[in-house]
Amino acid sequence: MQLINDVLDLSKLEAGRLELCLEPADVREICGFLQMMFAQLAAVKFLDLKFEVESAPPGLLLDRLRLRQVLVNLVGNAIKFTDQGFVRLKMKWLPDGNDRSRGTLQIDVADSGTGISSEQREEIFKPFVQSHPRRSGENQGSGLGLHIVQRLMEMMNGTVTLESASGKGSVFSLSFPNIAISARLPVSDMTEQDRLVDFNDFVPAMLLVVDDNAINRNLIASMFARSHHRIQLAQNGKEALEAISKNKPDLVLMDIRMPVMDGRATLAEIRKIPGLELLPVIAVSASIHANDENDLRSRFNGHIRKPFSQHTLYKELEQFLRCASPANAGAAGGDLSAPGTLATGKKADDWNLLTAELRLLQSREWAVLCESLAIKDTQAFAQRLRTLAQSMQCSPLSIYADALTDYAKTYAVNDLEKHLLEFPALVQVIEKNNLIS
């Protein structure tokens, strides 16, 4: 879908048929959207993701959707090609000295990633060119993103420049001169209902998220990061059935197109299990055909079309989960230590206890392991981290511990050593982002 959208945008740009829609926009809200979109991807790689806005007026007259498209491309690339360190976006407003109703918006997207050589910098903005076309373990993309960024910047009378060197990270700098400040309130993509969504309105429940795309699974899980609900994750129908047999969920969010066993087949198997005939199973699909949507609604208890907002998900869950009474709305209840959950409702002293314990482990056991790479000691270290992660509800720490265990069990020494070296960065991310509160 991204490739198709890129090609369509490029075709419109080349034909001169892509038009701008100038309207009051709040750049802080755009940063909030980017934070929500990329927070989980950055956390999985233990990256320090930051967004800063310096004294920007609330309503700037620009095409907010095209600006957002540019920034999604740049931030997405920065995270994709950064394995450790940081990704930072900084916005700065420079008022016009002669006309206070106008000014220049400057945006820098910086990272500590692989960088771009001087030879590649000459070619990187051309269509179908990628800086690291054979980078393993990543979605390859179309090579159109930066070309579209440059063309959109030209349309918006802005400029984009690049400072980078191979192995030393990159800084993409955007400049939008002569931007007018609007007296009208900014246009928002969020309704007031979106801002007030609180999944803790529902009684604590266990939700099973089934999707073959890790980004989709983690995005849904992140929506419940501050809630009292338990989230289990599965990447296909077979895993979903195994999860259901071990621990019956209160509701299932089911992707439709998956390998091994798709959503429809999984639903049929669920309905064969005694006692689960009425288990709410909500279809989550990218289908845009009315016939497909009608078919899903006739089979499943509900249907959500991708992409969806937190408010859309809330309204769907409202039909199946009981509302919490004022007396128990703040009580988490139950065991919240299931794998796949982010930490919820922990007090500041718990967070301080966890970070202090991690720092102690880093200075003692971790330092010794980096020298010895002893398999049994590494497994014991990973188990210690897993216990901490479960007791403090810290998902990134749990993910790290599981991967460390897998490398130790399979004697993957190179991966084990690399993963151990990432531990200080993980501790720093947990400290800075307070991932257990």
Are the beta carbons of 88 and 68 closer than 8 angstroms? no
Q: What angle do CA 158, 159, 164 make, to 5 degrees?
A: 150
H runs (alpha helix) in 16-99: 27-44, 64-80
* CA dist., res. 306 & res. 303, Å (int): 10
Q: pLDDT over 90 for what percent of the chain?
A: 26
Give the global pTM.
Answer: 0.49
Q: Worst-scoring range by mean pLDDT, 129-143, 207-221, 274-288, 361-375?
A: 129-143
Q: Which two tokens stand for residue 289?
A: 């055909």
Q: What is the CA radius of gyration of the chain?
A: 24
Q: Which two tokens stand for residue 133?
A: 């076309």
* Strand partners for 52: 90
Backbone dihedral region for residue 151 (phi beyond 0: left; psi -120 to 50: alpha; all else: beta): alpha
Q: Which two tokens stand for residue 155?
A: 């349309």
* CA dist., res. 277 & res. 247, Å (int): 16
Q: Which residues contact 97 (CB under 8 A, 6 or more apart)?
A: none
Using DSSP's 3-state secondary structure scheme, residue 179 falls into strand
Tens digits of per-residue pLDDT, 276-287?
Answer: 888 899 999 876
Residue that has been written with the tokens 């991967």 in this structure: 403
Domains observed in the chain? 2-180 (3.30.565.10), 192-317 (3.40.50.2300), 348-433 (1.20.120.160)
What does residue 81 show for φ and ψ, rounded to 5 degrees?
-105, 20
pLDDT at 258 over 60: yes
Tens digits of per-residue pLDDT, 62-90?
Answer: 988 889 889 988 999 899 999 999 999 99
* CA dist., res. 4 & res. 8, Å (int): 6
